[in-house]
Amino acid sequence: MAVPCITFIGGGNMCEAILSGLLKTGHPTSHVRVSEPFDQRQAFLREKYGIDVFGDNNEAVTGATGRISTAPVDVVVLAVKPQVVGEVVRGIAQSLQTTQPLVISIVAGVAIKDFARWIHHDSSATARVPLVRLMPNTPALVGEGAAGMYADADVSDEQKKQTEYVVCNIAKEYFWVDSEAGVDAVCAVSGSGPAYFFLVIEAMEKAGAELGLPADVAKRLAAQTALGAARMVLTSEDDVATLRRKVTSPNGTTHAAIEKMIAEKVPEGVRSGMLACRARCTTLSEEFGKL
Protein backbone atom coordinates (compact mmCIF):
# COMPACT_ATOMS: atom_id res chain seq x y z
CA MET A 1 0.00 0.00 0.00
CA ALA A 2 1.31 3.44 -0.96
CA VAL A 3 1.60 5.97 1.85
CA PRO A 4 -1.73 7.82 1.85
CA CYS A 5 -2.11 11.58 2.09
CA ILE A 6 -4.42 12.19 5.05
CA THR A 7 -6.43 15.31 5.83
CA PHE A 8 -8.02 15.83 9.24
CA ILE A 9 -11.07 18.05 9.47
CA GLY A 10 -10.94 19.19 13.10
CA GLY A 11 -7.71 19.48 15.06
CA GLY A 12 -8.84 18.38 18.54
CA ASN A 13 -7.51 15.72 20.88
CA MET A 14 -8.49 12.67 18.85
CA CYS A 15 -7.03 14.17 15.69
CA GLU A 16 -3.80 14.84 17.56
CA ALA A 17 -3.72 11.30 18.94
CA ILE A 18 -3.93 9.82 15.43
CA LEU A 19 -1.61 12.45 13.96
CA SER A 20 1.14 11.96 16.54
CA GLY A 21 0.89 8.18 16.17
CA LEU A 22 1.25 8.45 12.41
CA LEU A 23 4.28 10.71 12.57
CA LYS A 24 5.98 8.61 15.25
CA THR A 25 5.79 5.59 12.98
CA GLY A 26 7.37 7.45 10.06
CA HIS A 27 4.41 8.90 8.17
CA PRO A 28 5.83 11.86 6.21
CA THR A 29 4.75 15.38 7.13
CA SER A 30 4.28 16.00 3.40
CA HIS A 31 1.37 13.55 3.45
CA VAL A 32 -0.73 14.96 6.26
CA ARG A 33 -2.63 18.18 6.78
CA VAL A 34 -5.17 19.50 9.25
CA SER A 35 -8.02 21.97 9.14
CA GLU A 36 -8.66 23.75 12.43
CA PRO A 37 -10.79 26.90 12.99
CA PHE A 38 -8.99 28.34 16.03
CA ASP A 39 -5.81 30.34 15.41
CA GLN A 40 -4.11 29.34 18.66
CA ARG A 41 -4.71 25.65 18.02
CA GLN A 42 -3.52 26.06 14.42
CA ALA A 43 -0.26 27.58 15.62
CA PHE A 44 0.21 24.84 18.23
CA LEU A 45 -0.23 21.98 15.74
CA ARG A 46 1.90 23.68 13.13
CA GLU A 47 4.76 24.35 15.52
CA LYS A 48 4.67 20.99 17.32
CA TYR A 49 4.34 18.72 14.30
CA GLY A 50 5.74 20.72 11.38
CA ILE A 51 2.68 20.12 9.21
CA ASP A 52 0.29 22.19 7.15
CA VAL A 53 -2.63 23.48 9.20
CA PHE A 54 -5.39 25.34 7.39
CA GLY A 55 -8.20 27.53 8.58
CA ASP A 56 -10.26 26.57 5.55
CA ASN A 57 -11.67 23.04 5.26
CA ASN A 58 -11.71 22.99 1.48
CA GLU A 59 -8.08 24.06 1.21
CA ALA A 60 -7.15 21.25 3.58
CA VAL A 61 -8.95 18.73 1.39
CA THR A 62 -7.73 19.94 -1.99
CA GLY A 63 -4.27 21.12 -0.89
CA ALA A 64 -2.72 24.51 -1.56
CA THR A 65 0.37 25.44 -3.56
CA GLY A 66 3.43 26.65 -1.76
CA ARG A 67 2.76 24.50 1.30
CA ILE A 68 4.51 21.49 2.80
CA SER A 69 1.87 19.09 1.50
CA THR A 70 0.64 19.28 -2.08
CA ALA A 71 -0.08 15.57 -2.53
CA PRO A 72 -3.59 14.61 -3.65
CA VAL A 73 -5.68 13.62 -0.68
CA ASP A 74 -6.41 9.91 -0.21
CA VAL A 75 -8.15 9.92 3.18
CA VAL A 76 -10.25 12.56 4.93
CA VAL A 77 -10.82 12.03 8.65
CA LEU A 78 -13.85 13.86 10.03
CA ALA A 79 -13.08 14.74 13.65
CA VAL A 80 -15.59 17.47 14.45
CA LYS A 81 -18.42 17.76 16.96
CA PRO A 82 -21.70 16.04 15.98
CA GLN A 83 -23.62 19.31 16.30
CA VAL A 84 -21.70 20.91 13.42
CA VAL A 85 -20.86 17.91 11.26
CA GLY A 86 -23.76 18.40 8.84
CA GLU A 87 -22.72 21.97 8.10
CA VAL A 88 -19.06 21.00 7.80
CA VAL A 89 -19.70 18.11 5.40
CA ARG A 90 -22.03 20.17 3.19
CA GLY A 91 -19.31 22.82 3.07
CA ILE A 92 -16.70 20.39 1.69
CA ALA A 93 -19.08 18.28 -0.40
CA GLN A 94 -17.86 19.66 -3.72
CA SER A 95 -14.22 19.16 -2.76
CA LEU A 96 -14.97 15.57 -1.75
CA GLN A 97 -16.75 14.98 -5.04
CA THR A 98 -13.75 16.35 -6.92
CA THR A 99 -11.00 14.54 -5.01
CA GLN A 100 -12.87 11.28 -4.26
CA PRO A 101 -11.01 10.34 -1.05
CA LEU A 102 -11.96 7.74 1.48
CA VAL A 103 -13.91 9.54 4.22
CA ILE A 104 -13.48 8.20 7.76
CA SER A 105 -15.84 9.59 10.38
CA ILE A 106 -15.04 9.41 14.08
CA VAL A 107 -18.17 11.41 14.86
CA ALA A 108 -20.35 9.45 17.29
CA GLY A 109 -24.00 8.89 16.53
CA VAL A 110 -24.06 10.01 12.87
CA ALA A 111 -25.08 7.38 10.31
CA ILE A 112 -23.42 6.82 6.94
CA LYS A 113 -26.70 7.53 5.13
CA ASP A 114 -26.63 11.07 6.55
CA PHE A 115 -23.01 11.65 5.52
CA ALA A 116 -23.95 10.41 2.04
CA ARG A 117 -26.96 12.75 1.99
CA TRP A 118 -24.82 15.76 2.95
CA ILE A 119 -22.05 14.91 0.49
CA HIS A 120 -24.46 14.31 -2.38
CA HIS A 121 -26.94 17.07 -1.52
CA ASP A 122 -26.29 18.66 -4.92
CA SER A 123 -28.52 16.80 -7.40
CA SER A 124 -25.78 17.07 -10.04
CA ALA A 125 -23.39 15.02 -7.87
CA THR A 126 -23.10 11.52 -9.24
CA ALA A 127 -19.84 10.03 -7.98
CA ARG A 128 -20.11 8.05 -4.75
CA VAL A 129 -17.66 8.93 -1.99
CA PRO A 130 -16.61 5.85 0.04
CA LEU A 131 -17.39 6.15 3.77
CA VAL A 132 -16.14 4.41 6.92
CA ARG A 133 -17.45 4.92 10.44
CA LEU A 134 -14.75 4.55 13.06
CA MET A 135 -15.50 4.33 16.78
CA PRO A 136 -12.27 4.95 18.73
CA ASN A 137 -12.02 5.68 22.45
CA THR A 138 -10.11 8.13 24.63
CA PRO A 139 -7.29 5.74 25.66
CA ALA A 140 -6.14 6.37 22.08
CA LEU A 141 -4.63 9.54 23.58
CA VAL A 142 -2.08 7.35 25.41
CA GLY A 143 -1.70 4.75 22.67
CA GLU A 144 -3.93 2.18 24.37
CA GLY A 145 -7.11 2.54 22.38
CA ALA A 146 -9.71 0.08 21.15
CA ALA A 147 -11.81 0.66 18.05
CA GLY A 148 -14.51 -0.70 15.80
CA MET A 149 -15.01 0.10 12.10
CA TYR A 150 -17.81 -0.24 9.57
CA ALA A 151 -17.41 0.31 5.82
CA ASP A 152 -20.12 1.05 3.31
CA ALA A 153 -20.32 -0.88 0.04
CA ASP A 154 -18.23 1.69 -1.86
CA VAL A 155 -15.11 1.10 0.26
CA SER A 156 -12.48 -0.99 -1.54
CA ASP A 157 -10.13 -3.51 0.03
CA GLU A 158 -7.29 -1.03 -0.46
CA GLN A 159 -9.27 1.63 1.41
CA LYS A 160 -9.92 -0.80 4.24
CA LYS A 161 -6.14 -1.19 4.49
CA GLN A 162 -5.84 2.61 4.58
CA THR A 163 -8.37 2.68 7.43
CA GLU A 164 -6.38 0.09 9.36
CA TYR A 165 -3.22 2.12 8.68
CA VAL A 166 -4.85 5.06 10.45
CA VAL A 167 -6.40 3.05 13.27
CA CYS A 168 -3.36 0.95 14.22
CA ASN A 169 -1.64 4.11 15.43
CA ILE A 170 -4.20 4.64 18.20
CA ALA A 171 -5.74 1.25 18.95
CA LYS A 172 -4.19 -1.93 20.30
CA GLU A 173 -7.41 -3.81 19.47
CA TYR A 174 -9.52 -2.96 16.42
CA PHE A 175 -12.17 -4.87 14.51
CA TRP A 176 -14.44 -4.54 11.49
CA VAL A 177 -18.15 -4.96 12.19
CA ASP A 178 -20.69 -5.94 9.56
CA SER A 179 -23.41 -3.36 10.29
CA GLU A 180 -23.86 0.13 11.68
CA ALA A 181 -25.69 -1.46 14.61
CA GLY A 182 -22.33 -3.06 15.33
CA VAL A 183 -20.78 0.42 15.61
CA ASP A 184 -23.35 1.26 18.29
CA ALA A 185 -22.43 -1.95 20.11
CA VAL A 186 -18.75 -0.98 19.93
CA CYS A 187 -19.70 2.39 21.41
CA ALA A 188 -21.45 0.62 24.30
CA VAL A 189 -18.45 -1.61 24.98
CA SER A 190 -15.30 0.38 24.23
CA GLY A 191 -16.34 3.82 22.99
CA SER A 192 -18.00 4.74 26.27
CA GLY A 193 -16.27 1.95 28.19
CA PRO A 194 -13.40 4.00 29.66
CA ALA A 195 -15.95 5.99 31.68
CA TYR A 196 -17.25 2.76 33.23
CA PHE A 197 -13.78 1.88 34.46
CA PHE A 198 -13.14 5.45 35.61
CA LEU A 199 -16.30 5.13 37.71
CA VAL A 200 -15.07 1.87 39.25
CA ILE A 201 -11.57 3.25 39.90
CA GLU A 202 -13.09 6.38 41.41
CA ALA A 203 -15.24 4.26 43.74
CA MET A 204 -12.24 2.11 44.70
CA GLU A 205 -10.16 5.22 45.36
CA LYS A 206 -12.83 6.65 47.67
CA ALA A 207 -13.32 3.34 49.49
CA GLY A 208 -9.56 2.92 49.89
CA ALA A 209 -9.34 6.37 51.46
CA GLU A 210 -12.18 5.47 53.83
CA LEU A 211 -10.19 2.39 54.81
CA GLY A 212 -7.23 4.56 55.77
CA LEU A 213 -5.06 4.76 52.65
CA PRO A 214 -3.86 8.13 51.32
CA ALA A 215 -6.11 9.08 48.40
CA ASP A 216 -3.25 9.13 45.87
CA VAL A 217 -2.07 5.70 47.01
CA ALA A 218 -5.60 4.27 46.72
CA LYS A 219 -5.95 5.77 43.23
CA ARG A 220 -2.66 4.36 41.96
CA LEU A 221 -3.32 0.94 43.47
CA ALA A 222 -6.79 0.83 41.90
CA ALA A 223 -5.54 2.02 38.51
CA GLN A 224 -2.63 -0.43 38.39
CA THR A 225 -4.94 -3.24 39.47
CA ALA A 226 -7.31 -2.42 36.62
CA LEU A 227 -4.41 -2.30 34.18
CA GLY A 228 -3.01 -5.61 35.43
CA ALA A 229 -6.39 -7.33 35.31
CA ALA A 230 -6.93 -6.14 31.74
CA ARG A 231 -3.49 -7.42 30.72
CA MET A 232 -4.31 -10.82 32.23
CA VAL A 233 -7.56 -10.97 30.25
CA LEU A 234 -5.72 -10.18 27.01
CA THR A 235 -2.83 -12.61 27.56
CA SER A 236 -4.31 -15.56 29.49
CA GLU A 237 -5.71 -18.67 27.86
CA ASP A 238 -8.45 -18.66 30.52
CA ASP A 239 -11.74 -16.89 29.91
CA VAL A 240 -12.75 -13.99 32.13
CA ALA A 241 -15.06 -16.04 34.35
CA THR A 242 -12.26 -18.55 35.01
CA LEU A 243 -9.83 -15.77 35.89
CA ARG A 244 -12.38 -14.38 38.34
CA ARG A 245 -12.91 -17.78 39.95
CA LYS A 246 -9.15 -18.33 40.31
CA VAL A 247 -8.80 -15.24 42.47
CA THR A 248 -12.01 -15.90 44.43
CA SER A 249 -11.29 -18.51 47.10
CA PRO A 250 -14.44 -19.97 48.71
CA ASN A 251 -15.39 -18.00 51.83
CA GLY A 252 -12.31 -15.81 51.41
CA THR A 253 -11.93 -12.05 51.28
CA THR A 254 -12.50 -11.72 47.52
CA HIS A 255 -15.50 -14.04 47.76
CA ALA A 256 -17.04 -11.72 50.34
CA ALA A 257 -16.52 -8.72 48.07
CA ILE A 258 -17.87 -10.41 44.93
CA GLU A 259 -20.94 -11.78 46.70
CA LYS A 260 -21.75 -8.31 48.00
CA MET A 261 -21.33 -6.76 44.55
CA ILE A 262 -23.58 -9.40 43.01
CA ALA A 263 -26.17 -8.80 45.73
CA GLU A 264 -25.97 -5.07 44.93
CA LYS A 265 -26.65 -5.97 41.27
CA VAL A 266 -23.38 -4.53 39.95
CA PRO A 267 -23.31 -6.87 36.88
CA GLU A 268 -26.93 -6.00 36.05
CA GLY A 269 -26.11 -2.32 36.41
CA VAL A 270 -23.23 -2.59 33.95
CA ARG A 271 -25.42 -4.40 31.43
CA SER A 272 -28.25 -1.87 31.83
CA GLY A 273 -25.82 1.00 31.39
CA MET A 274 -24.47 -0.47 28.16
CA LEU A 275 -27.99 -0.98 26.79
CA ALA A 276 -28.76 2.65 27.67
CA CYS A 277 -25.62 3.71 25.79
CA ARG A 278 -26.69 1.81 22.68
CA ALA A 279 -30.20 3.27 22.89
CA ARG A 280 -28.76 6.77 23.11
CA CYS A 281 -26.67 6.07 19.99
CA THR A 282 -29.89 5.32 18.13
CA THR A 283 -31.55 8.47 19.42
CA LEU A 284 -28.56 10.62 18.48
CA SER A 285 -28.51 9.14 15.00
CA GLU A 286 -32.16 10.10 14.57
CA GLU A 287 -31.52 13.62 15.88
CA PHE A 288 -28.45 14.29 13.75
CA GLY A 289 -30.20 12.78 10.75
CA LYS A 290 -32.52 15.80 10.81
CA LEU A 291 -29.66 18.29 10.41
Q: Is 81 annotated as a binding residue?
A: yes
The CA distance from 138 to 149, in Å, is 16
Concatenated DSSP letters of 232-260: HHHH-SS-HHHHHHHT--TTSHHHHHHHH
Hey, what amino acid is at 62? Answer: T
Q: Is 289 annotated as a binding residue?
A: no
For residue 161, the tally of other CB atoms under 10 A from its CB is 11
Q: Is 256 annotated as a binding residue?
A: no
Q: Is 57 annotated as a binding residue?
A: yes
For 150, the 3-state DSSP assignment is strand
Backbone angles phi, psi at 91, to 5 degrees: -70, -25
Q: Is 14 annotated as a binding residue?
A: yes
Q: Is 103 annotated as a binding residue?
A: no
Q: Is 13 annotated as a binding residue?
A: yes
Q: Is 28 annotated as a binding residue?
A: no
Indicate the pairing of strand 145-151 with strand 131-135: antiparallel
For 185, the 3-state DSSP assignment is helix
Q: Is 17 annotated as a binding residue?
A: no
Which residues are CB-neighbours of 131 under 8 A, at least 6 positions away? 102, 103, 104, 105, 112, 115, 116, 151, 152, 154, 155
**In the chain, where does DSSP find H-type helix?**
13-24, 39-49, 57-62, 82-99, 112-119, 157-167, 180-186, 193-210, 215-235, 240-246, 253-263, 266-288
* Residue numbers belonging to the annotated binding site: 9-14, 57, 79-82
Tell me the binding residues for NADPH: 57
The annotated binding site for NADP(+) is made up of 9-14, 79-82
